A and B are shown apart, each in its own frame.
Chain A
Amino acid sequence: MQRLKWSKVQWRVYPWLSILFILALWQIVGARINPILISTPTAALSALIEQLQSGEMQVGFWQTAYTFLIGLLLGLVIGAPLGVLMGRYRIVESSLEIVVRVLYSVPAIALFPLFILAFGFGDEMKIVVVFLACVLPIAMNAQAGVKSVDNALIDVAKVFGGTERELFTKIILPGTVPFLAGGFKIAIGRAIVTTVAVEMITTGGGLGGMMSYYSNQLLTAEYVAPLIATVILSLLVYALGDSVERRFSAWRPRGTGSS
């Protein structure tokens, strides 16, 4: 067996030490004060196990994952082409950029009353809010990506007789991928925040609904368990985004990657 060298392993150890330290601190402080305030990791863990055994956690998790992923996916499917068109065609850019900028500065969550009127309290309303939160950063990054493509590369395609379609598929889109991945990662963060927030405000099921319910009951341990599940969901999708980005930027010189 190969001996593990501390000089190399240490960089994998420090993050876990840091997490352990925070958990220990939480345990020690939490055990000495009113359990309503911050509870303790052990109490949260046993609440989590209880919620898993009753099946409540699974229902909530999948409901949140569904809203979050569909909203995010819609944002990608609509935002990416929109941004690419804005980056490539001046008429699209000058028509839509002002709309995009204005909408970007409105917190999507603040618009949920309008969507309740239009869609009621169901999944559609939540998905629309999440979609709105993540479509704009994706579009804006795609736009910036297209504009960042080196003009000389566009000349290369033209001078060798490439069609507009070939210019798109072989030069512009591949050149935009790193920016798209960056926009996607920003969108993940916005989508998870918005999903949980809209669930909490409307007490409409999902992990956010659980958090809202248990915090009203002052059951802090039971409230912390879905919070942890939310973090895990977000980290999973984030890791997915990272691996897609790595797959498409294998050619990049080391140290200049955007991750």
Chain B
Amino acid sequence: MSSSRFVITVIGLDRVGIVAGITRVLAEHQVNIADIRQSIMDDLFTMIMLAEAKGENFDLAAFQQAMQAIGKELGVEVIVQHEDVFRFMHRI
């Protein structure tokens, strides 16, 4: 594990307040957004964020739980994964 950066993927039906809801939880956990992309693919709201944990005592499990909870509230799927999984899989 080379960093404390995570890829957060949000997929679901578009509605008002998805970005606001997600970013509020990020701020609460001291997670900074390094990059963000959002589009509508096949009628699905798709947002991909590269985020970095800034807090010294960052608790991944608690953060993932909070993200899942807000996802449920907003009716979207939220997946939090360490960035290395994508680097390893697609890059040599």
Physical interaction between A and B: no
Residues of A within 8 A of B (CB): none
B positions within 8 Å CB-CB of A? none
